[in-house]
Amino acid sequence: MIKRYIAEKDTTIADSKVGRASGDTTLANTGASDSLEVFTVYGRNGTTDREKARILLRFPSEDIKADYDAGLIPDGATYVLRLFHVNTVFNTPKNFTLEAYSISESWDEGSGINLDTYGDAGAANWNEASEGTSWTTAGALQGSDDLLGSEEFTTGLEDLEIDITSEVETWLVDANVHSGILIKFNDFAEDTSEDTFYTKRFSARSSEFYLNRPIIEVRYDDSISDDRSRFETASPILPASDSENTNTLYFFSYFKGALRDIDDDDTYLPDVNFYKDEDKTIEITPDYIDITRESEGVYKAVVSITTLEDEIWEEWVDSITTTRVFYFKKINIEQEDNIEDAGSEYTCSIRNLKSFYKEDELATFEVFVRKLNNSSNIFNVAQANPEADIPRDFRYKMIRDVDNREIVEYSTYTRLSAKKDFAEFDFDMSVLEPGYTYTIRFARYFNGGLRELSNRFRFRVRESTG
């Protein structure tokens, strides 16, 4: 799952006195500029002066905390600071390092727009956090600020991407601790090096390019891998408990449409039995089984079974009385010649795809996927009404059609959940810019590589109204 939060304030502050503006830039503000910049200049016009520019950002920590408290962001999520490169008429420097710091003083964004000459007065600026209030130390860093991370740039054209999870996790406790994040060249470039690094620019939050605005990207794998549609018999080559030799089965305990623990007891675990026949005359003893409660109303069984049967029957039952049966259904056993391999080809369809989605919509996509054999085509596959055959690691990506830009790439955070009859994923439409058409592509990850399906699915995002 991917969620994104756009910066709510940003600006560039600079200490540059020679050749850029008429006078001192330490009181200049660029809070309404559509770009941000960071640079360090040494020895302009034969001097030993050092000139610097730094970036300030603040994100909606209150919104992030609210979503976390509401369960929309799980524990263990990764939070990544992302800034997007802007091409300029200047020669972009190469081979440098940028650092991100957490700052503790509040500041104003300001309304200055002139990033080229720093001709607009106002705060925040190099000397002041807000009008009439100076930074404790000019330049916004006090010396005791936490270094959140750094990134090396080779060509200078790269985007910035820094994992700031440890910082954001403090906001989840108290959103008010977030005053801002500062981006600068490393200390060596700013204070010691006699090289000039001028200038590296990124898109600001006021940029007309919606997808290039500064963001914190939240990433987490919310997929559930249920193996009912691809249940494999155990191999004697590996231990029964080996992760490559087990199958995962989930049971969801719903009451009136909501997940709920059985008997409202969060310590209770049901039993899982297996049989050769629907009449339960011959029970199958698993080689290995481990049953756990994953969350409220969600139970997981990791099981290994050796069998020559083409099908078996799965039963979730009360572990105390054994008379209450919660679930009973057939599982088809995947034969050796049908197990996923590098040469397997798949086709898919989205059975609930809409033409349009609202920009604030959380959409759920249900994807039917199955293998193709040499004689299969989309028509006869649909006519035959085959069972789902979901790859073990099935992923999606999002592409904007107008420029073929990958908005969300294949990753462990875009895995689909495997259900009995289909695969599924949720997508937060606020990640996408409204007014454009997008394409969904799918790929399976197998033996270290991605194998993309030929299917393409298009939809458009509309602005929300009312």
Tens-digit pLDDT profile for residues 128-163: 999 999 999 999 999 889 999 999 999 999 999 999
| Least confident interval from 202-216, 360-374, 381-395 | 381-395
Looking at residue 340, its pLDDT comes to 62
Looking at residue 54, its pLDDT comes to 98
Looking at residue 174, its pLDDT comes to 98
Q: What are the φ and ψ backbone dihedral angles of 461, each rounded to 5 degrees?
A: -105, 125
Looking at residue 19, its pLDDT comes to 46
Q: Distance of CA 451 to CAs 84, 111, 340, 344, 418, Å?
A: 28, 49, 12, 9, 18
Looking at residue 21, its pLDDT comes to 47
CA–CA distance, 456 with 404 (Å, rounded to integer): 13
Does 90 score more than 60 pLDDT? yes
| Least confident interval from 26-30, 114-118, 178-182, 350-354 | 114-118
Compute the average pLDDT of residues 375-391: 59
| Least confident interval from 23-27, 304-308, 394-398 | 23-27
Residue 33 pLDDT grade (very low, low, confident, very high; cuts 50, 70, 90): very high
CA–CA distance, 393 with 412 (Å, rounded to integer): 9
Looking at residue 342, its pLDDT comes to 65
Looking at residue 46, its pLDDT comes to 73
Does 20 score more than 70 pLDDT? no
CA–CA distance, 404 with 176 (Å, rounded to integer): 39
Does 382 score more than 50 pLDDT? no
Looking at residue 421, its pLDDT comes to 82
Architecture of domain 228-337 in CATH?
Sandwich (2.60)
Residue 38 pLDDT grade (very low, low, confident, very high; cuts 50, 70, 90): very high
Does 393 score more than 70 pLDDT? yes
Among residues 69, 133, 67, which one has the least CA distance to residue 105?
Answer: 133
Looking at residue 69, its pLDDT comes to 97
Looking at residue 338, its pLDDT comes to 54
Looking at residue 373, its pLDDT comes to 66
List the Cα angle 3/8/10 in 5-degree steps: 120
More reliable by pLDDT, 388 or 170: 170
State how far Cα 45 lies from the chain centre: 46
Q: What are the φ and ψ backbone dihedral angles of 193, each rounded to 5 degrees?
A: -60, 145
Residue with tokens 């908005």: 407
CA–CA distance, 357 with 440 (Å, rounded to integer): 13
Compute the average pLDDT of residues 324-331: 95
Compute the average pLDDT of residues 20-46: 86
Residue 334 pLDDT grade (very low, low, confident, very high; cuts 50, 70, 90): confident
Looking at residue 4, its pLDDT comes to 98
Does 383 score more than 70 pLDDT? no
Looking at residue 241, its pLDDT comes to 96
Domain with CATH 2.60.40.1930 in the chain: 345-462
Does 376 score more than 50 pLDDT? no
| Least confident interval from 65-74, 296-305, 373-382, 436-445 | 373-382
Looking at residue 249, its pLDDT comes to 95
Average pLDDT, the chain: 92
Looking at residue 315, its pLDDT comes to 97
Strand ordering across the sheet containing 298-304: 247-252, 298-304, 288-295
Q: How many other CB atoms are there within 10 angstroms of residue 345's CB atom?
A: 13
Percentage of the residues of the chain whose pLDDT score is greater than 70: 93
Tell me the pTM: 0.88
CA–CA distance, 79 with 61 (Å, rounded to integer): 12
- Mention the CATH class of domain 345-462: mainly beta
Looking at residue 335, its pLDDT comes to 62
Query: Mapping DSSP to helix (H, G, I), strand (E, B) and coil, where does residue 230 land?
Result: helix
**Hey, which residues does 15 pair with through a beta bridge?**
52
Residue 222 pLDDT grade (very low, low, confident, very high; cuts 50, 70, 90): very high
Contacts of 417 (CB under 8 A, 6+ apart): 222, 223, 224, 225, 226, 423, 424, 425
